[in-house]
Chains A and B, each alone.
Chain A
């Protein structure tokens, strides 16, 4: 089992609040990813990073931002949460050409 952690696991928050979803991995992986997934639906890549100080936007436009100051840490921030942000957010990490290891996810509900 891979060592990748996400907190919080569940978050209910009001519209307009700023939130940060945490993701950490202890495997020393250079590549990290954030996916957005509605229940039973496809995975949408919203951000990825090839290493420290490297961040790129994914295929799905997102109002969130990410940072990669340390190899093991890849937090995602929403400056002003809206009901349309309600979803599950999955963090993953991996090596070049290797498999992706997914965290347990954060289920976000914005009221």
Chain B
């Protein structure tokens, strides 16, 4: 079955440093989604990428979808303490399955 690998598992940064998490799928995806889960909270949808090579920005967050639609990345510029949490990617298989597979997540901690 489809596998979605996410690295790194953990990342600790000083406030102001940049942060990147990477996501790789074993199969070509229909789309990829990113979620953020604050400590003690539930996952909240951030963004969805659909097109090959797509790049989207949300303030300090930049999301990319690879040309082959099998990998993606989330980059945060100049992290802040409010960025703390676990970031999950989730790949959607196409066809008749439409199954969303979550990566294991990257836990980001920020030292003020």
Contact = CB atoms under 8 A, between A and B. Distances in A.
Given A97-B30, A97-B31, A97-B92, A43 B44 contact: no
Interface in A15-43: 40-43
A100 B100 CA distance: 9
B102 A42 contact: yes
**Chain B at the A interface: mostly helix, strand, loop or mixed?**
strand
A96 B42 CA distance: 21
**Chain A at the B interface: mostly helix, strand, loop or mixed?**
loop
A108 B103 CA distance: 24
Interface in B50-99: 86, 88, 90, 92, 98
- What is the interface residue range for chain B against chain A? 20 to 34
Contacts of A61: none
Nearest to B39: A40
Interface string B1-41: 10000000000000000000000000000110101000101
A33 B32 CA distance: 18
Interface of A: 40-43, 45, 59, 90, 92, 94, 96-97, 99-105
8 contacts: A42-B102, A43-B43, A43-B102, A45-B102, A59-B1, A97-B30, A100-B100, A103-B42
